[in-house]
Amino acid sequence: MRKLLLLATLFFIISCQENEKTQTIKIKNQYSLDLPESLSLATNLNTDASLQYQNVFDDLYVIVIDESKQVINSYIDDNTDFPPNLNGYTQLLKSGLQTSVTNPIFSKTEKKQLNGSKSHQISLSGKVDDYEIYYEFAHIEGKNHYYQVFVWTSLEKKEKLSTKMKKIINSFKELKSRGR
């Protein structure tokens, strides 16, 4: 009986986590992201981010940085040996992460369509300021913008949160009504 009660409790906890309610956040009528309702607005995660949400208790953080494709492609073309496209954008950003994360371990880049946009999705673990961190992130090519979607937690919570992190990234949608 005790084992049955333990299994029922475990099943309930897992099903509640998988069915967590989400909120759709729209930014500048440019893009949207579906986030767990347990995340709240933040303002101190990244000064360049157009979206910042966190749950300090669960140790889960999300930011999105959007940048003009024209400006970024021009920068890449003028200052690097990378191609001025999504591949070059990913190479540029990965090279920056390699210098800011100690002992970075990158997954293989997964190239896929994400709600109508090309994306490169990668995971990364390493140390930042003596904290072991785990990131799931995507570089996304929109019509007129590149997007960086970063979701992170402590390395010890990787197994618990990686599915949720990927779900957040995969919910990204560039909205059609934005013409910049």
For 77-118, how does the pLDDT look when each residue is reduced to its tens digit (9 = 90+)? 999 999 999 999 999 999 999 999 999 999 999 999 999 999
Half-sphere CA count of 110, side-chain side, radius 13 A: 14
Counting residues of the chain whose pLDDT is more than 70, the rounded percentage is 87
What pLDDT, on the 0 to 100 scale, is given for residue 20?
84
45-72 pLDDT, tens per residue? 999 999 999 999 999 999 999 999 999 9
Residue 17 scores a pLDDT above 60 = no
Backbone angles phi, psi at 92, to 5 degrees: -60, -50
| DSSP state at residue 176 | T
What pLDDT, on the 0 to 100 scale, is given for residue 76?
95
Query: Which of 18, 58, 23, 11 lies closest to 163, judged by CA?
Result: 18
Query: Which of 72, 90, 85, 173 lies closest to 137, judged by CA?
Result: 90
Q: Is 147 helix (H, G, I), strand (E, B) or coil?
A: strand
Measured between its terminal Cα atoms, the distance across the chain in Å is: 62
Under the banding of pLDDT at 50, 70 and 90, the label for residue 4 is very low
Q: Are 123 and 136 in contact (CB under 8 A)?
A: yes
Q: Are 101 and 127 in contact (CB under 8 A)?
A: yes
Residue 16 scores a pLDDT above 90 = no
What pLDDT, on the 0 to 100 scale, is given for residue 8?
47
Q: What CA–CA distance (Å, rounded) separates 153 from 55?
A: 10
Residue 5 scores a pLDDT above 60 = no
Q: Pick the residue with more confidence: 44 or 2?
A: 44
Counting residues of the chain whose pLDDT is more than 90, the rounded percentage is 84
The CATH code that applies to domain 23-174 is 3.40.1000.10
Token code pair at residue 64? 């999105």
What pLDDT, on the 0 to 100 scale, is given for residue 176?
82
Tell me the pLDDT of the chain averaged across its residues.
90
| Buried-exposed string 121-157: b where 16+ CB fall within 10 A, e elsewhere | bbbbbbeeeeeebbbbbbbbbbeebbbbbbbbbeeee
What pLDDT, on the 0 to 100 scale, is given for residue 49?
97
Q: Are 96 and 104 in contact (CB under 8 A)?
A: no
Mean pLDDT, range 112-139, rounded to an integer: 95
Residue 32 scores a pLDDT above 80 = yes
User: For 69-73, 129-133, 176-180, which range has the lowest pLDDT when averaged over its residues?
Assistant: 176-180
The residue with tokens 């669960």 is 58
Mean pLDDT, range 27-37, rounded to an integer: 96
